[in-house]
Amino acid sequence: MNTQKKAYIFALSAILCWSTVATAFKIALNGMNFLHLLLISSGVAMLFLGSLLLFTSQLQKAFTGNKMDYIRSAGLGFLNPFLYYLVLLKAYSILPAQFALSLNYIWPITLVLLSIPLLKQKIGWKSLLCILVSFSGVLIIANKGSFTSIETPNTYGVVLALSSSLFWALFWLFNVRDAREEKQKLFLNFVFGFLYILISILLFSDFRMPDNKSILAAIYIGIVECGIAYVFWLKALKITSSTDKISNLVFLSPFISLLFVHLIIGESIYLSTLAGLVLIILGIVLQKFIKKSNSIE
């Protein structure tokens, strides 16, 4: 098997892992509070990543940074996993899984919008049209395809799902400026994130032991979403001959997620959800082509 085929296998394995997470969120949230889910899953992710670093003799290196490195990790850990998953899991606790996962997928467009004030990048009319295409998909999903009346399932949940994309985009923008090794950075992010959620629960909630099914789902999320999938994806990026060859495979994830949501949870998937998701992804793909053509010029 050649190296590129291995890259595809690792990339598709990561995408398959990510595609199961929306279903796991809903299963876990059936038996526990979203704060408790974040505590368990982030704690498990921290232990998993720490074990991985220990096994590869990198754990000590994660703690050899300077004061600024720890400040960065504290800030990034506040954005992700703490704030991002706090908002996203709350959205999942309110909305059907199909709405939460589809609306969260707007983050690449949010990233483009944030790059204007934060990176001082200019945006052309073609990019604006792409953004409008994606946001039309958001409106279709949020309004369940109705153009004559407001059919939003829960306005607060929709706002939360969209807000989560903002926190993820901010995390991505600040994370790429940090030159440390990726797994070491992520581990420290989860160390700080776990401390934040632990403090939040001590201040605002009482921990109650959830049922076994919910605990297993929370453990699965911690290992698969933040551990195995991430390692597979990094491996694919490392060995692929071109990032573009595997990056576009990510667009399979929301559709596979909807399939799992339907088959395992039993949600009836609205045609408007599929139509809106197609428009969101169409806007993102067109935006990528515009960036590529501009870089060639």
What is residue 81's predicted lDDT score, i.e. its pLDDT?
Answer: 93
Question: pLDDT grade, residue 286 (50/70/90)?
Answer: confident
What is residue 293's predicted lDDT score, i.e. its pLDDT?
Answer: 63
Question: pLDDT grade, residue 217 (50/70/90)?
Answer: very high
**How distant, in Å, are the alpha carbons of 125, 179, 213 from that of 190?**
39, 18, 24
Which of 102-116, 127-141, 198-212, 264-278 shows the highest mean pLDDT?
264-278
Q: Please state the φ and ψ torsions of residue 184, each to the nearest 5 degrees.
A: -65, -40
- CA 223-227-228 angle, to 5 degrees, is 90
Find the mean pLDDT for residues 276-291: 85
Consecutive H or E run containing 210? none
Sorted by where each begins, the domain ranges of the chain are 3-295
| Closest C-alpha to 193, from 41, 74, 18 | 74
Residue 76 has pLDDT above 90, yes or no: yes
Question: pLDDT grade, residue 288 (50/70/90)?
Answer: confident
Task: Check if the beta carbon of residue 116 is closer than 8 Å to that of residue 123.
Answer: yes
Question: pLDDT grade, residue 178 (50/70/90)?
Answer: confident
- CA 289-117-179 angle, to 5 degrees, is 75
Burial class (CB in 10 A: 0-12, 13-18, 19+), 50: middle
Question: pLDDT grade, residue 108 (50/70/90)?
Answer: confident
Task: Please confirm whether the linkage preceding 96 is cis (ω < 30° from 0).
Answer: no
- What's the token pair of residue 109? 């467009």
**Crossing angle for the helix pair 107-119 and 271-296, nearest 10 degrees?**
40
Specify the range with the lowest mean pLDDT, choosing from 7-16, 161-170, 172-181: 172-181
Chain segment 111-148, per-residue pLDDT in tens: 888 877 877 777 777 888 888 888 888 888 877 655 55
Q: Please state the φ and ψ torsions of residue 295, each to the nearest 5 degrees.
A: -70, -30
What is residue 142's predicted lDDT score, i.e. its pLDDT?
Answer: 78
Please give the mean pLDDT across all residues of the chain.
87
Chain segment 204-216, per-residue pLDDT in tens: 877 777 888 999 9
Residue 292 has pLDDT above 80, yes or no: no
Residue 1 has pLDDT above 80, yes or no: no
What is residue 51's predicted lDDT score, i.e. its pLDDT?
Answer: 95
